């Protein structure tokens, strides 16, 4: 297993946890994790990289060992601000190789359109965007958000770290016991009562009062100047979450047409957590893409 070192820096006033793998003089590769995940989640991919890289992965605000946002909600604009500050800290003068998974994939896609000069190459792992919304949904969405402010969401605790590992395997049946055991060490921590709490702010489960304005996101995608590697899992669970699978597939194909410089790849025998299911396949794709001139 590739050794990793932790570092804490302040980004936009929040103490943020950063993981580093590899020699600091090697080419940099920034990785951004998804919702209810953490930077350590990329360990398996890093283990299969064959070339020398300095991999830098952070815990988003309110996840892992990073501070909570200190507010009663989380907004994509804040993720963009945090990413911009992170890149300014570690690579102020040159464009970067940037990878994001799921929520992280959605963030890096927006960022690469908003700051195209800051991204050299972009890898999007299952960051399809969210379901489009209509203005007519706003009243109920605001009302739901207000109600949740009165009764904030909670995350359950687990009796042992072994139970945390089993929970991870329940979510992803493809996850091996060894990998679940490793992830459980970083996904949860023991509390004063001897139970294990997930290292995530429960407010991440709250509804956002801000509707997802798809056409604005696609306008950002159209401004991406970097080559983009769009990676999907052969057995992704995301279609069910996006509604009718056939309609979801068609909608994703429509969205993809907005990416100027696109390469596509599919990871076989993998679900949405493809970096856990097939890290060797994924690592090979990443290195081929990054080293292709």
Whether 52 is in a domain gets the answer yes
**More confident: 174 or 241:** 174
Whether 188 is in a domain gets the answer no
What CATH code is carried by the domain that includes residue 73?
3.40.50.1820
Residue 247, phi then psi, degrees to nearest 5: -65, -40
Where residue 293 falls among pLDDT bands split at 50, 70, 90?
A: confident
Assigned token pair, 251? 């909608």
pLDDT of residue 193: 95
Sheet with 196-198, strands from edge to edge, namely: 157-158, 196-198, 188-190
Q: What is the 3-state secondary structure (H, E, C) of the chain?
A: CCCEEEEEEEECCEEEEEEEECCCCCCEEEEECCCCCCHHHHHHHHHHCCCCCEEEEECCCCECCCCCCCCCCCCHHHHHHHHHHHHHHHCCCCCEEEEEECHHHHHHHHHHHHCHHHEEEEEEECCCCCCCCCHHHHHHHHHHHHHHHHCCCCCCEECCHHHHHHHHHHHCCCCCHHHHHHHHHHHEEECCCCCEEECECHHHHCCCCCCCCHHHHHHHHCCCCCCEEEEEECCCCHHHHCCCHHHHHHHHHHHHCCCCCEEEEEECCCCCCHHHHCHHHHHHHHHHHHHCC
Whether 146 is in a domain gets the answer no
pLDDT of residue 137: 97
Question: Look-up: residue for tokens 């830098």?
Answer: 56
pLDDT of residue 70: 83
Whether 207 is in a domain gets the answer no
**Measured between alpha carbons, how far is 16 from 260 in angstroms, rounded to an integer?**
33
- Asked whether residue 80 carries a pLDDT value surpassing 70, the answer given is yes
Where residue 243 falls among pLDDT bands split at 50, 70, 90?
A: low
Assigned token pair, 22? 């590899």
Whether 159 is in a domain gets the answer no
What average pLDDT does the segment 217-240 reach?
Answer: 94
Paired residues of 55 in beta bridges: 21, 29
Whether 154 is in a domain gets the answer no
Whether 143 is in a domain gets the answer no
**Measured between alpha carbons, how far is 192 from 235 in angstroms, rounded to an integer?**
40
Span 143-186, pLDDT tens digits: 999 999 999 899 999 999 999 999 999 999 999 999 999 999 99
Domain housing 100: 4-132+212-291
Q: For the ranges 60-74, 108-122, 271-285, which has the lowest average pLDDT? A: 60-74
Separation in Å, CA 8 to CA 15, 17, 65, 80, 212: 6, 5, 9, 19, 32
Whether 22 is in a domain gets the answer yes
Assigned token pair, 179? 């990998």
Paired residues of 32 in beta bridges: 58, 100
User: How many domains does the chain divide into?
Assistant: 1
**Measured between alpha carbons, how far is 214 from 133 in angstroms, rounded to an integer?**
7
Separation in Å, CA 244 to CA 240, 249, 250: 6, 9, 10
- Asked whether residue 239 carries a pLDDT value surpassing 80, the answer given is no
């Amino acid at each position: 297993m590739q050794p990793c070192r932790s570092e804490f820096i302040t980004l936009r006033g929040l103490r943020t946890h950063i993981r580093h793998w590899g020699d600091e003089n090697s080419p940099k590769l920034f990785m951004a994790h998804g919702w209810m995940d953490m930077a350590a989640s990329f360990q398996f991919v890093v283990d299969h990289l064959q070339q020398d890289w300095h991999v830098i992965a952070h815990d988003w605000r309110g996840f892992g060992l990073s501070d909570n946002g200190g507010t009663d909600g989380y907004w994509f604009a804040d993720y963009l601000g945090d990413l911009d500050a992170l890149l300014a800290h570690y690579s102020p003068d040159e464009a970067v190789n940037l990878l994001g998974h799921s929520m992280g994939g959605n963030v890096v896609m927006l960022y690469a359109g908003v700051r195209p000069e800051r991204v050299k190459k972009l890898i999007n792992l299952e960051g399809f965007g969210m379901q489009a919304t209509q203005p007519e949904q706003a009243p109920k969405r605001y009302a739901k958000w207000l109600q949740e402010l009165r009764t904030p969401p909670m995350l359950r605790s687990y009796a042992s770290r072994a139970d945390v590992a089993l929970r991870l395997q329940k979510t992803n049946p493809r996850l091996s016991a060894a990998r679940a055991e490793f992830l459980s060490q970083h996904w949860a921590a023991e509390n004063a009562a001897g139970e294990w709490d997930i290292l995530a702010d429960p407010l991440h489960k709250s509804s956002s009062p801000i509707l997802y304005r798809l056409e604005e996101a696609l306008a950002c995608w159209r401004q991406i100047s970097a080559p983009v590697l769009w990676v999907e899992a052969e057995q992704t669970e995301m279609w069910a979450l996006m509604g009718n699978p056939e309609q979801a597939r068609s909608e994703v194909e429509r969205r993809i047409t907005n990416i100027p410089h696109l390469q596509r790849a599919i990871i076989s025998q993998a679900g949405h957590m493809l970096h856990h299911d097939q890290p060797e396949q994924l690592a090979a794709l990443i290195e081929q893409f990054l080293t292709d001139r």
